[in-house]
Amino acid sequence: MAQEYEVIIGMEVHAQLLTRSKMFCSCSADYVDAPPNTHVCPVCMALPGALPVINKAAVEATIRTGLALNCRIASFSVFARKNYFYPDLPKGYQISQYELPLTTDGWVEIEDDAGHPKRVRIRRAHLEEDTGKLVHMDGYSLVDLNRAGVPLLEIVTEADLRSADEAYRYLRKLRTILRYLGVSTADMEKGAMRCEANLSVRPKGQKTLGTKVEIKNLNSFKAVRDAIAYEVQRQVRILEEGGTIEQVTLGWDASRGRTFVQRTKEEAHDYRYFPEPDLLPLEVSQEWVEALRETLPELPDAKMDRFVREYGLSRKEAWIVVEEQDVAQWYEAAVRAYGAPRQVYNWLTGEIFRYLNEANVPIDEIRVTPEGLAELLRLVDDGTINRNTAKSVLQEMLATGKDARTIVEEQGLAQVSDEAALASIVEEILAAHPDEVRRYRAGKKGLFGWFVGQVMRATRGKANPDLVRKLLQERLNE
Ligand SMILES: [Zn+2]
């Protein structure tokens, strides 16, 4: 029998915090579109004698995130120097947290590969500062320190993840939580959320862990999933062939779809951490923590549970609308305007999601309001238009921003429910197709749908389909 393997994964995420100023100085942290080296001062340029000051908003964002991740908030934590040299790090060290981080021992719930709820333990979430950026030119490099000192939240899990898909779901969940809190854009493609995976593989049943590798440069959700899946396969193949795994740091080459060695164990850093002498320890009172707890929004898990309870959605369905806060808000507003949560769900995740995908816009930029959808659905309920017409009216609403009633009137889309008018169209259809009528009456009942289609076509889709069926039944079964 083939040997089975177990994959052990831990994740480390860095999320830029959405504060106005940087972590230890008053420079603006909104540097993305700024010309190089314009958001800098003696502190973030590391001029001699400049002293850091802790950004309170960054501490609060970290505490709120810690609470949302079910972490313990330390009443006493310490910043530490992480020493290394790199041209984008002017001080020659990064201020981070090491032995006494601000938050520890939390968890995030995800679904495992069998669809069961599973807790991924959070070892710690601590504060640190971002580095500057190197811009590599032809034969030389330039340094931009606008990003140096932007607050970063580092979130580290225990090695609780067991597959590429679990890692993917964990990251998506984490992104949703950070966005609900408003502490980070958590936009991986723009570098506001960066991720590394620690991974090892061992034969199932083996007690000791396999050799761990680190994968860096994972800058999209797809990269995370692809890189882990690739690396698992690579390691299993080596083990099957009787080889050994080397402890290395890997990069991910998305264009070639494979990992590559960035650094071997011999080159591993020793950061010589020590407590930052320029900053006092951080003391956090219980009152402060409780005041911040009051500012938490309804978190994604709680919202999902409530949508299941109040709107009769399955957990999977609820997550589809809850994952993005704006979508959840839109959905609830539409349910309030119309009632019938199931129907609103179907229209939102069907027609409207398709439009969002095709037009590549977020829901808060579409031209249909929740109330506008409710009005459209009421036109179906009162028989003014049928469901198919409603779908094309909705497309028109999305494209033009006009309301449903205006479109129906302008284009004469109101459905034909006039029984006498429809009856005469039915007569015409039957008279024009005597063969089909004979075959139907001889027992080929499958033709019924074809007759309905003919009448709908003759009315350009506007006939009331229930009435058409009733009239056809009466005439064909005479
Ligand atoms: Zn500065």
> Is the pLDDT confidence value at 474 over 80?
yes
User: Within its chain, how far is the Cα of 239 from the centroid?
Assistant: 35
How close is the Cα of 60 to the center of ligand 1, in Å?
20
Residue 323 DSSP SS3: coil
> Using CA atoms, how far apart are residues 156 and 214, in angstroms rounded to an integer?
13
Average pLDDT value for residue range 19-26: 97
251-297 confidence digits (pLDDT tens): 999 889 999 998 887 666 789 999 999 999 999 999 999 999 999 99
- How many helices (H) and strands (E) the chain has is answered by 16, 16
Environment class of 262 (CB within 10 Å of its CB; exposed 0-12, middle 13-18, buried 19+): middle
Q: What is the pLDDT of residue 410?
A: 87
Cα(81) to ligand 1 centroid in Å equals: 18
CA angle 318/324/326 to nearest 5° reads 105
Report the share of the chain in percent with pLDDT over 70: 99
In residues, how long is the chain? 478
SS3 109: strand
pLDDT-based confidence at 138, cuts 50/70/90? very high
Measure 477 CA to ligand 1 centroid, in angstroms. 85
Identify the pLDDT of residue 477.
83
Mean pLDDT of 158-185: 97
Q: What would the mean pLDDT of 299-325 be, rounded to a whole number? A: 96
Q: How far is the CA of 42 from the centre of ligand 1 (A)?
A: 6
Q: In the chain, where does the domain assigned CATH 1.10.10.410 lie?
A: 419-476
CA distance 168 to 226: 10
Distance 39 CA to ligand 1 centre (A): 7
Collapse the DSSP code of 155 into the 3-class scheme (helix H, G, I; strand E, B; otherwise coil) and give the result.
Answer: strand
How remote is the CA of residue 126 from the centroid of ligand 1, in Å?
A: 21
Fold for the domain defined by 419-476: Arc Repressor Mutant, subunit A (1.10.10)
Tens-digit pLDDT profile for residues 315-335: 999 999 999 999 999 999 999
Give residue 43 CA to ligand 1 midpoint distance, Å: 5
Cβ pair 331, 345 in contact under 8 A? yes
Q: What is the pTM of this model?
A: 0.87
Q: What is the pLDDT of residue 268?
A: 63
Other beta carbons within 10 Å of 347: 21
Tell how far the Cα of 54 is from the centroid of ligand 1, in angstroms: 12
Helices 387-400 & 370-381 angle (0-180, nearest 10): 160
Q: For residue 256, report the distance from its CA to the centre of ligand 1, in Å.
A: 39
SS3 state at 366: coil
Q: What is the mean pLDDT of the chain?
A: 93
Q: Nearest Cα to 296, choosing from 19, 29, 60?
A: 60
CB under 5 Å of ion ligand 1: residues = 25, 27, 41, 43-44
Please list the residues that pair with 200 across neighbouring strands.
8
Give 346-396 pLDDT, tens digit per residue: 999 999 999 999 999 999 999 999 999 999 999 999 888 888 889 999 999
